[in-house]
Amino acid sequence: MSTTGTAPRLSAGVLTADLTRLGDELAVLRGTGCWAHVDVMDGSFCPLLTVGPGFVAGVAATGIPVDAHLLVDEPRRLLPDIVAAGPAVVTVHAEATRHLHRTMQELTALAAARPAPVLRGVAISPGTPVTAVEPVLELTDLVLVLAIDPGWPGQLPAANTRRRVAAVRDLAAGLGRPILVGIDGGLTMANAAEIAGWGADVVVSGSAIYDGTDPAGNLERMLARLGMTPATTGPR
């Protein structure tokens, strides 16, 4: 459970869905309180090359909140188009830019200019000290703690993940406003209940939901393991 005592929100990675029938695949998320997690990868920051702002816009057009995770080098170049695509969350990596503070300032300005609210996120990979996010916490709404090294599928959650979630909480404690903490990577049906107890507000899982078999059934089972039901919307 999160530190608020509620179940964590599920952000369901949609890139493992059947993209030839994406509308039907996304429909299983409607009314559940889940986000649609889109990994935007450039083939440079991590090995995979995936999608861009056009895909984010297409998913956002369904009305389901989009969680856009930018796994790209120097994300400032993409921020205007990504924010304009209409996501509810935009997350950049601390390791991906030489100018993280400037990047978050620009994301803040773009978010403020958009009518709908945008949560500003900063992600850190397992080998990055949590203190890397400290200089930008005042510009941040979500810290996403990666439990795996991005771009290499099939990994188990790093052993330090729970400790790092707690460390991010400690860093943010003195700010006087809530900062969401998320966990991304390695979430399966088998470990979901355990990970739900690590104190995160948001957890990300892709292939456990969209595995090519029964996404609606998988989602129902995952939400049950996380202690969340379709009527439980979790943290905003």
184 catalytic residue (yes or no): yes
**Catalytic member of 73, 184, 201, 214:** 184
User: How confident is the model at residue 1, as a pLDDT?
Assistant: 52
Annotation says 39 is catalytic = yes
Q: Give Cα separations from 5 to 1, 113, 180 (angstroms).
A: 6, 33, 13
pLDDT digits (tens, 9 = 90+) for 100-150: 999 999 999 999 999 999 999 999 999 999 999 999 999 999 999 999 998
Under CATH, to which class is 9-226 assigned?
alpha beta
The separation between the first and the last C-alpha atoms of the chain, rounded to the nearest angstrom, is 15
Report the predicted TM-score, pTM, of the whole model to 2 decimal places. Answer: 0.93
pLDDT digits (tens, 9 = 90+) for 57-87: 999 999 999 999 999 999 999 999 999 999 9
Distance CA 63, CA 229 (A): 20
Per 3-state DSSP, the chain is made up of helix, strand and coil in percentages (nearest 5) of 35, 20, 45
- Read off φ and ψ for residue 24, nearest 5 degrees: -65, -40
Cα(99)–Cα(108) distance, integer angstroms: 14
Domain coordinates of the chain in residue numbers?
A: 9-226
Candidates 39, 42, 67, 141; catalytic one: 39
Q: Which residues pair with 202 in a beta bridge?
A: 9, 182
